[in-house]
Structure 1
Amino acid sequence: MANFLITGGAGFIGSHTAQKLLDEGHRVTIMDDFNDRYDPRLKEARIKNMFTHCPQHPTIVRQDIRDTEAILRIFTKNKFDSVIHLAAWASVLPSMRNPHIYAQVNVGGTVNILEACRLHGIKNLVFASTSSVYGGLTSIPFHESDNVLQPISPYAATKVAGEVLCATWHNMYQLPVVCLRFFTVYGPWGRPEMAMFQFANAIMAGKPVLMRGHSTKRDFTYIDDVVAGIIGAAHIKKGFTVCNLGEHDAVPLPRLVRALEKNLQKKAIIKEKPLMPGEIEATLADITKAHQLLGYEPTTPIEEGVKKFVDWYLAWYRPNFMDKKQRI
């Protein structure tokens, strides 16, 4: 069994990944600063859920990845085999309002993790990237070989920079790295600013669902499928590669809304708005490479995934995280 570090392990993808690795019998250390980018109570609740349902428990380290010396001390103390680097400031629009924090965490913090991996002989690094790196490209599906050097948001730029840094540390020091470009990950325990949360909240409150572009399509990818891809990547111990992790299904937003209406048993009020600067009209992943290298095989269509999300949303999230006035 391996000894894993998951940065951002109290986050949406990180907590699910940690739980899966613990279920498989691995040792897991979760590093997270539990910041207030969104309600930190949700991060604490994910950890509590993990302690409740996992046969063995993770080690929790409350740490900002920008602290170089602290990161090195943690690596020295724990003797990790593999690192899954998920810690980041995410989302396109907030990055336009505060690009400095995105650069500090997503670029500076990634350099700290790469240096710690180099100095401590880490056998494998998995780096979380994003479909946002494809910027304004209009030809879908997106391929890993597409030009990503024209990002249209600071968030995307920091993730392109992260990929380039990972390639550099591999070229200079032979650090094995797999960069994974995630496509609109959703499911239980997700981030509340994501579209699925926002749409569900609006439908339940009888307020308009703000749909940015009727023709907008997203390759929504269910969390369990993404976790399977991450764990597949964590077994690659040589080379440098970049893989898309998507569902390979460009879902029009009206189809998502219909699935939410069905499972929430409530009709949506639709209000269309134009796309914001930095947003992409359509995303669709070519997942051939991930299938070949990682054994990646997504199995959750949007209708099935939305049902699982709504079941959790109604049973747990609304009663625990929305006051009575918000739930009406």
Structure 2
Amino acid sequence: MPNRYLVTGCAGFIAARVCELLLEAGHAVVGWDELNDAYDPSLKQWRLARLRNRPGFSFLQIDISRADAVREWFATGGPSADSPPSDRPPYDAVINLAARAGVRASVLRPDVYYQANCIGTLVLLEQCRTAGVKKFILASTSSLYGAHNPVPYREDADTNRPLSPYAASKKAAETLAYTYHYLHGLDITVFRYFTVYGPAGRPDMSIFRFVRQISEGEPITVFGDGSQRRDFTYVDDIARGTVAGLTELGYEVINLGGDRSVPLAFVIDEISRQCGRPATIEYRPAHPADVPATWADVAKARSLLGWKPELPIEEGIRRCIAWYREHRETMRQIRL
């Protein structure tokens, strides 16, 4: 039987792919997005346009931190959506992927991150409680882990010393989620995503920027010396894992990562090799909120969800380059 899901941040990088997977499986998806200017909104519109044409999808532009607006539209999902039957909750699950993301930007505007990531999560949890929606998925981040944690990072590591307002806001959201599980019985799965990349990715993330800039013969900027290591995870793997989390789990925090930590310099060399162009690199000091390495222990995802990452970074880069070349005239205009 098809289900009906609310996916917030639906015009975002990860959420758009999650929506596609749900729609391909025959489910109905109500998508919400604020369509803010945290990065170039034209890329969000590009993703959204591809969802609007799909049967079973409806969209509402809304800020999840606005409690009155969320309360008004929660039951119906928007002015174009049909009200669900009165004998069941409005949604089979809420997948909260709406967020302000990014470590460095959060240092400049911590208030915006708190509003979106903490207040927004609280508003949605409260609506789930009052409307009887029992399943809630929350997107969190590998940025919660710090230099004091051994790698690969396990979910039971100490995350009480976040290095950025972004990480702190996500830690607060995780804590709120547990409170609603404990007090109100919500079934909540929290995913800590590790450095997600792929076609139509965020333009402030390294792989999108490097693919475009190296392809166009432009210099790239590296903060630090390039030895910092990241567990890059392809967006399709992340979306598969997120959908798998819709099963009943109680309350769980689960890493989704590529299970392989590679130096940023390796990624730059691989993009240059596949593009057939050398990279011109401008080095800048490392940011104090950046950790030297990330690496996900994904044993819990394997055990609880039967999930594992499938796409190696080399193939992921190849797909990103092919996608950029296919959409070059549009994507070269995106503001970085």
TM-score class, shorter: over 0.9
Q: Does the 8 Å CA contact 2:11/2:45 hold for their aligned counterparts?
A: yes
Q: Structure 2: how far apart are the matches of 1:187 and 1:197?
A: 8
Q: Structure 2: how far apart are the matches of 1:146 and 1:124?
A: 25
SS in 2 for 1:139: coil
Q: Deviations over 1:128-177 (max 9, x none)?
A: 00000013335210000000000010000000000000000001101100
Deviation, 1:47, is 1.6
1:44 aligns with 2:55: no
Q: Does the 8 Å CA contact 1:187/1:308 hold for their aligned counterparts?
A: yes
Q: 1:319 aligns with which of 303, 325, 329?
A: 329
Aligned residues: 321
1:228 aligns with 2:229: no
SS in 2 for 1:77: coil
* Match in the other structure for 1:63: 62
1:25 aligns with 2:26: yes
Deviation, 1:204, is 2.9
Q: 1:149 aligns with which of 146, 156, 160?
A: 160
Aligned residue type for 1:6: V
Q: Structure 1: how far apart are the matches of 2:175 and 2:149?
A: 23
SS in 1 for 2:99: coil
Q: Does the 8 Å CA contact 1:124/1:238 hold for their aligned counterparts?
A: no
Q: Does the 8 Å CA contact 2:190/2:253 hold for their aligned counterparts?
A: yes
Percent identity reads 38
SS in 1 for 2:255: strand
| Inter-CA distance 138–270: structure 2 relative to 1 (3 Å threshold) | farther
Q: Does the 8 Å CA contact 1:127/1:179 hold for their aligned counterparts?
A: yes
* Match in the other structure for 1:93: 104
Q: Structure 1: how far apart are the matches of 2:157 and 2:182?
A: 21
1:129 aligns with 2:137: no
SS in 2 for 1:29: strand
Deviation, 1:191, is 0.7
Deviation, 1:74, is 1.9
* Match in the other structure for 1:7: 8
Unaligned runs of 5+ in 2: 78-89
Q: Structure 2: how far apart are the matches of 1:176 and 1:310?
A: 39
Q: Deviations over 1:207-240 (max 9, x none)?
A: 33222333211000000100110011012x2410
Deviation, 1:247, is 0.6
* Match in the other structure for 1:166: 177
Deviation, 1:322, is 2.5
* Match in the other structure for 1:287: 298
Q: Deviations over 1:39-63 (max 9, x none)?
A: 11111111222345x4x24110110
Q: 1:215 aligns with which of 222, 227, 245?
A: 227
Q: Structure 2: how far apart are the matches of 1:131 and 1:40?
A: 25
Q: Structure 2: how far apart are the matches of 1:173 and 1:323?
A: 47
1:246-261 matches, within 5 Å, as 246-261=257-272
Give the TM-score, by structure 2 length.
0.92
Q: Structure 2: how far apart are the matches of 1:175 and 1:64?
A: 23
Deviation, 1:202, is 2.8
* Match in the other structure for 2:119: 108
Q: Structure 2: how far apart are the matches of 1:192 and 1:122?
A: 34
1:300 aligns with 2:311: yes
SS in 2 for 1:241: strand
Q: Does the 8 Å CA contact 1:51/1:57 hold for their aligned counterparts?
A: no
Q: Deviations over 1:167-214 (max 9, x none)?
A: 000011011000000000000111111111222233234333222333
Q: Does the 8 Å CA contact 2:212/2:324 hold for their aligned counterparts?
A: no
Q: Does the 8 Å CA contact 1:135/1:156 hold for their aligned counterparts?
A: no
| Inter-CA distance 323–31: structure 2 relative to 1 (3 Å threshold) | closer
Q: Structure 1: how far apart are the matches of 2:158 and 2:296?
A: 14
CA RMSD after TM alignment: 1.6
Q: Structure 2: how far apart are the matches of 1:270 and 1:39?
A: 24
Give the TM-score, by structure 1 length.
0.94
Deviation, 1:250, is 0.2
SS in 1 for 2:76: helix
